[in-house]
Amino acid sequence: MKKILFTVLAVATLMLVGCDKQKSNENNPFMSEYANEYGIPPFDKISYADYEPAALAGIEEQNAEIDSIIKNTAEPNFENTILALDNSGKILSKVGGVLFALSESDNTPEMQKVSEKLLPMFTAQSDAMYMNDSLFAKVKAVYDNADKLGMDPIQKRLTEKYYKRFVRNGALLTAAQKDSLKEINRKLGEFNLKFGNNIQHDLSECIFYVDKEEQLKGLPQTIIDNAAKLAAEKGKKGQWAFNAIAATRLPVLTYADSRDLRRQMYETYTSTASHGDEWDNSENIRNILLLRQQKANLLGFNTYADYATDPYMAKTPKAAEDLLMQLWRPAIKKVDEEVADMQKYAAAHGDTAKIEACDYYYYAEKVKKEKFNFSEDDVRPYFALDSVVKNGIFYAANKLYGLTFEEMPDAPKYNPEVKVYDVKDAEGKHLAVFMTDYLPRPVKSPGAWMNAMQEAYNYGGENVRPIIYNVGNMALPSGDTPSLLTWDDVQTVFHEFGHALHGMLTRVPYRGLAGTNTDRDIVEMPSQINEHWAFEPEVLKHYARHYKTGEVIPDSLVQKLNESAQFNMGFMTTELVGAALMDMYWHKKAWTPEEAKNIDVKAFEQDVKNQLNMPALVEFRYRSPYFKHVFASDEYACGYYTYLWAQVLEADGYLPFEKAGCFDKATADAFKKLLESGDTMDPMELYKQYRGQAPTVDALLRNRGLK
């Protein structure tokens, strides 16, 4: 997942007391150049008290820069308006880069308080900027006169991007409408933040205990050890404690022989943030949906789905839904076959009970073992996290693009578990700083993602290279056993590194077009293409080595891994497409205040399942109360479908490597050019420039065994 953060550009909406600000910032690390070679934030010197005064000072700095743009008496042009806008707010960007990173990956109670205070401030500043009539008049003048001003295509692209962003954020509204939109955005920010915090709390704090060892039968020893450790930490030594974070949940659902344990885990997870009062997200969902509907109406759209799809490749909710249904119909048909196989296996082994949703992972693994003589347990010892990183993703990046990764053990880190690398290009020149943070902890949000702590840009005599980070929640090490990954985890590491490559390789002049600052329906394509190298035999044999013996993964296991690659694909496609369709159904309805007030979240989800004829044994990948992509921010709201849209591009886009070879230089160079290009041209044109044609859905259906 790519966490999308837009540069916050503000106008003078906050009045500051200069002497107080200056006193607060005398020793504030954000207020001076970072004293290290690549501008890595000095995390050990940044205190919680530094964020607010630095943010206010950054707003003041940016206000002055924007005021200068407005008061400039020269004819508006690219340099004095668009470029000045894109290059403004450096202090604020520094604060935001660290704040957004730590509020997701090291979200301590103190950091939560900082976020709760500052994130609404950032929202307010963005609103004020995009609704500033004088500033918009300058931007519009450049946009309207692009040809007359002799701008090159990249300058036109950045100008168009800013113009459209102003319009989508209310620049054409009346003063009263702008005030309404500001209030809507302020409230949305508050509810988004509450939604995410509730999920984090429930996943880490909703714990159930096991006091009988026989209930643990089938579980990997590392899971048992970590459960005993958690119980001891909670004052129940001698028992085993479980929460529903992915690193624990998936092994329990897959390997626990006890149906009661599997059911307890399943119910704990699927009730995340939807029980009790304080941490229930139902009310947040009601408020968010109504506010989004009001926002869409203000901006001239019938529904939020119309607003959300308008600027992207799909253009309309119908086009997005049509794509999803092309995948949905064959996927649910495949699920019926998979369930029949599991029920047959269960009966043959003495279990006559009807398989339930909590049994799906367990019996899928059993059938996989029987059908292919293959289990996740067979391969996990070969997938040590450190090897997957250094001998997998780094190795492939070196072979494809000539990149090298040198660890910097003394570099600043926001957490001791973080590793920092100096990334050099094929000529040995510094390309980027890359940080990895793969292990779970209570203060980290669930899931995996990439972001930029510092964007790249190359203008005004400055060639600033990016600081990119990958975050995950992989299996914890236990004793002498390192973090051992499932095959799905391995693909996740390659996926997020694909985003990282997109951010690190960028070679564009302007920050607003750099790296992953692209449309969201193409931003997932490079990451999904990068997953393919996890499967390639040359790469696989380089990183897949037994953590004890160093033995390379046997050919027999590689063959079984490939043979089983399409196994259970009906289930995986159904839960993913189902979640995307549910997201679409939430947002294609024009909610009235009365309807929104009376939303029954569970009933709505069941209605969607009924309309789609969704198999009973498959749950949405994320139920609404913990669908963080969609309700914890607006960036993927009514946009979860873009993962599938990008998978169409990915499956079609990897075909040249399949034909020419996974390390074919000409193909790698062409794809590298796409990664370097950021958002400098229309994404479909950029794709066709690389691929030579528009994509089709055929390759994706074939890859998933659905055609």
The string of pLDDT tens digits covering residues 610-666 is: 999 999 899 999 999 999 999 999 888 999 998 888 888 899 999 999 999 999 999
- pLDDT at residue 566, rounded to an integer: 83
* Catalytic residue of the set 321, 496, 524, 531: 496
Q: Side-chain half-sphere of 189: how many Cα atoms within 13 Å?
A: 19
Q: What one-character-per-residue DSSP string does 403-418 give? A: -EEEE-TTS--SSTT-
Q: What one-character-per-residue DSSP string does 290-301 give? A: HHHHHHHHHTT-
Check if 18-130+132-168 and 380-543 are the same fold. Answer: yes
At the top level of CATH, the class of 380-543 is mainly alpha
The end-to-end CA distance of the chain, in Å, is 27
Taking each continuous run of H as one helix and of E as one strand, the counts in the chain are 33, 9
- Residue 415 CA to residue 419 CA, distance in Å, equals 9
Q: For domain 18-130+132-168, is the CATH number 1.10.10.10?
A: no
For 331, the enclosing helix (H) or strand (E) is: helix 317-348
- pLDDT at residue 390, rounded to an integer: 98
Query: pTM for the complete prediction?
Result: 0.83
Name the stretches of the chain with pLDDT < 50. Answer: 4-23
- pLDDT at residue 701, rounded to an integer: 79
- Residue 152 CA to residue 617 CA, distance in Å, equals 55
Query: Structural domain boundaries of the chain?
Result: 18-130+132-168, 206-270, 380-543
370 belongs to the catalytic site: no
